[in-house]
Chains A and B, each alone.
Chain A
Amino acid sequence: MADVKLTIAGRPYDLHCEDGQESQLLQLAAVVDEKAREMPGGTEVRQLLFAALMLADDAQDAKGKIEKSEPQSDSLRAAVALAESREATARDELRAAVTREQAALKELEAVLQAGPAAAPSTKPAHDRALLQIADRIEALAAKVEQLP
């Protein structure tokens, strides 16, 4: 335990507190002493009474402010959660769009690679067949024309 000497409203007090809490106790005593000195001229009891009332008023104000700010905090938290959710959805959509685009690009590359190679392999065969058909039909036409 630690010994602490306090002076409030001009009167010294000897108090004990747990080790390490001395400075906090001195700070609290200074607050009470400051409030007590705001009512000069009264008796020590009256000074302490007014100090106690003013501190109670401060405590009530602080409590009211906390209660008032809580709903705002709740709505802020909700807004942050909504924004995070939307951001996650947008990121997923973007990732899906990128995947789709990459797949389409690969498909296009495959078509471009296969396209030029496939066409020449079939076209000459068709051309050859058509030319042979033309030869045979022309020969047949000549025979039909030569019939008596």
Chain B
Amino acid sequence: MELDLDESSLAIGRIERALSRIEKALADRANRPESAGAAPAADQSALKAEVAAVIGELDRLIAEADRG
């Protein structure tokens, strides 16, 4: 019986933790009324661009992995 934690399990663990960090950071921002809408427009759009880029990259990687 193999009990090794393989690379994919480790990567999934990292992804879950990173998503929790993002969720927590966004919840913290929402609970700060004075700064919720205070982020500069440039930062907002940079963040949106980064999220879109990451999502696009994820789609590409998932498609690549599906093709083997």
Contacts and interface: CB of A to CB of B under 8 A. Distances in A.
Interface of A: 121-123, 125-134, 136-141, 143-145, 147-148
A121 B57 CA distance: 22
Counting chain B CB atoms within 10 Å of each CB, the highest count among A121, A132, A133 belongs to A133
Contacts of A121: 68
Given A141-B25, A148-B39, A136 B11 contact: no
B2 to A, nearest CB: 13
Counting chain A CB atoms within 10 Å of each CB, the highest count among B19, B43, B61, B62 belongs to B61
B65 to A, nearest CB: 4
A126 B8 contact: yes
Contacts of B4: none
Interface of B: 6-8, 11-12, 14-15, 18-19, 21-22, 25-26, 29, 35, 38-40, 43, 47, 50-51, 54, 57-58, 61-62, 64-65, 68
Contacts of A139: 54
A133 B61 CA distance: 7
Given A141-B21, A141-B22, A127 B7 contact: yes
A131 B7 contact: yes
Contact of B11 (A133, A143, A144): A133
A131 B14 CA distance: 9
A137 B47 contact: no
Contact of B54 (A123, A130, A140): A140
A119 B26 CA distance: 39
A137 B64 CA distance: 18
Given A129-B62, A148-B35, A134 B21 contact: no
A134 B10 CA distance: 9
A133 B7 CA distance: 13
A144 B21 contact: yes
A132 B8 CA distance: 11
B6 A137 contact: no
